[in-house]
Structure 1
Amino acid sequence: MSEVVQLSSLLSTFDSSAPALTLLRLAPGVRMIGPPVEGVIAMLVIAGTLYLEIGGAPPRLVRQGELVLVPAGRRSHLAASALTQMTIDGQQCLVRREGWLVADATNGREPALIVGAGRIAGSSPEGLGSAVISPVVKCRIGKRIFALLRAECLQRDAGQAALASALMNACVVQGLRRAIEEHPARSATNSGGRGPIGGALAAIRARPGARHTVDTLADAAGMSRSSFVRHFKRIMRTGPADYVRTVRLEEARAMLDTTDLPIKTIASRAGFPSRSHFSRAFRQTFGRDPSSYRDRDAEG
């Protein structure tokens, strides 16, 4: 069964069996063990950066606003950084607090990482072959839903747990749809005529901040350098470098909209060599620098 079919099946399963929300809260230097479960686990990074190990594989980086789907039966380890001093079993720190189900590994400290998690009931070991990471905040609707979810999860008022669960479900649906739409296998056969460069487009969208070059993108597309550039310009009406820059700016704008990260950090994560370089490019594209863009809601 192809991964696109698996994801589509998960989305259909989700329609009738949405996961309940559990908040995972980790302090700096703490690694949490997640138990292997029968169904696929959906994890959404609400605050911080997740270093996720699945089944003994090297850690994968999952950023704020990204959804990760963990295959059924796989043991996972979660941490807020690559360096950890202690390991805690998530089951042993699971508590119900003011309507919330929380695996709290903070010991009273400010959490460095908050993850919303839930099992997609009805999914089976065949439901997903490998972990999938998908950004929820790549579209306007996804950004709005995620911002609402994050606000609910960072406060404690009556009714927030129920509302947060509904918003988590909406984020999982958005993430699944995004993963299906941007999957390389689908990109290679879509009606937009982008088949020859589908793999390169998927690589750029999946990791905008990575060190993309014409050579690496040509490899992702399975083409020679000259043939790739020719096809890319014909199909996208722009060159590979300009397209990468555009996607990186979109990524940076999403982080400005949905996070409180320092602008220097956003510039680095989006793939810009310096804050000054990022600010110039952002101003040229959006008509204002990143600081004034972030503060726009306070104007007037």
Structure 2
Amino acid sequence: MSLSLDQALTQIDISFSTFRRMESTDQLAPAVMPGQTHFVAVLDGEGELACGAGRRPVRSGQLLLLPGRETPASVPGVVLAHGLLSATLLDGRSLFEFFPLPHQLDAAGTELFTGAIPELLRESAYAGPGSAAIITCLARRLVTTLVRDAWPDDGQIVSACTATRQQRLGKIVDLFQKDPGREYTLDGLAGLAGMSRTVFHREFVTLHGCSPLTMLRGLRLKRAEELLRQTDMPIKTISSRMGYRSRSHFCKIFKDEYGVDPEQFRSTR
């Protein structure tokens, strides 16, 4: 079943933290936790906001939602307010998954900008009895306004069943990336994803365009390549760390992929 905007808004859990002014040059916003998004209000000035590896033109009155990787930093002549925002559906999905980020809204002159934002700053600084409840109410209003402006044109978001399946497959990829050297089997991975072996393999290929073990092989070789380039770690140690039972097996697979064996590859760095 799909969800409309109104249905989604009735079931979200809002969390808003560390909302504060940023006006010192090169002041960096705090890093996000999983599920959080950067919320930025441009209080005064005009310029280019440094966010992640790039820059974004901004001016007073704008509200922005930035993905976690685009941590903003203050710049001369621009006064910001920044907070970490999350909006989680009952099934664990983030509401911000359903429209593209960054998202920008011009709120100059609106009561949202002249009233809600200053009140958020005051309550965040006060942090006294009742502040958390007030901050949550104001954050819900912010989320509603921003999400309504960015909501998909068809008015619906993907069903929880489909999203949950994609999340389970995504956890397998996360596991590969965190621990590529672990010994994996298709049956074991299917069990971790809560699917049968056949369904798991089919869904994984549909979503990622390759089989789970093919992806794992590629991740292992990529990590081995990085270790060969960046360290003097013995090749036998690299092969063991990447899950290969023998140095010779690792060297053969590496040469099949790169056209040279690990020693030759390392000598060219």
TM-score where L is the length of structure 2: 0.40
Q: Of the two, which has the highest radius of gyration?
A: 2
- Given the two structures, how large is their TM-score scaled by the length of structure 1? 0.37
